[in-house]
Structure 1
């Protein structure tokens, strides 16, 4: 069948892409957590992930990573990769469990959401990025909102694709078949695309980190680990924001302080994220 050839080609390209990113990213002066995020996302998305790594994170010339990743769209790209990589682990585990025990469609998706959110929030956000907040518990509190908004959009984009792709083909719902993993790859890629605008807003308002630059001490280039963070351009706030920790920036943004008041407010964007999730559920229920 044609689909078998497409799936075979996809996985060949995915393996090649994963090998390239896993080897090449070792020399990229990026935060280790973000390195793992790009490797995991490439495992989900094959050549698409490798293309985004080269376009958005790979240092074009020695010493240019800091300036290269300051573009806000690259900051948002890193944030989205971080979201999709962490949440994706839990989502895939939930999808496998749901398929093996033959859970009803919406129960399956609820399990994927819970496991995806739990892994993305408690591990990839709070645990791996806890140094920005000082303690794990502060990190849990500080990253809940950003994880919630991003996860809702990711799942809202994923649900229709996961439910409708190859509908009626039993192989697409059997974890022992390649088509199952191809279907989930497509769903995660679409979910990441849908989550990108929300991550752009989160990064712009310092509710989530973007790309980071980490260089060995004494490397001769600008270093420090946070140089890639995009700073606000509003007059009078640059010096204040630059002196604040990531935890303080997120706290200031969430509280709507005069220092950096989110626009629209956080609660409005929360409603938008829930609307995206609800739309994905409605499309799934109507057409699946």
Structure 2
């Protein structure tokens, strides 16, 4: 498990796939760690070098005091590319990962070969919703908002007590570092990359679960409409985390898009 110091904090990350292959970077959602991508990895690593990492305040990465700024998250992503001498990568941003990737596009557009906006938007939520969530967690912990979040994350078919995967991902949320979760809530509250998205001239795929309760299909379609020549796809039978509920469909979309960005040899 590699641990490296990036921008003065320790970032936990993992690299899989051929060393000389084009690079795909997976940026996971709020309240999760990079294990959420496990089920799609076999379909991506045949032809791509895949980097997964726990953003600051999440998983096994270091947890600086809250609040965070979105440009800190984006600078961490850029620092990770620098650390591994990656000139340009196809970045997949899930939920908060979308604004993180857009922040990279604003800082250093040449470092992006393409972009996947997965269940995300340039602006997610508003001040009132994020401040309410921050207050609830400060008063009573992540457990106070867990059921509300899980309802938005997963479809009713997945969200059952007899589904071991649901229980596991619920535990992942509940065990998230509180400071990291709060810090990233503040980053989402304060971030608006609408103009960055409007100015993008990169190959871009916007995709969303058809039952996403956090960033619904209409919001993600509006994101696609902002980005010139972007592609929009809906994943049936999925909520906010299609990589968990519909890994095969998600992997097909990602590997096909990688092939279009890097050439046919870049995807199985």
Give TM-score, length-normalised by structure 2.
0.30
Give the structure with the higher percent strand: 2
Give the structure with the higher percent helix: 1
- Structure showing greater radius of gyration is 1
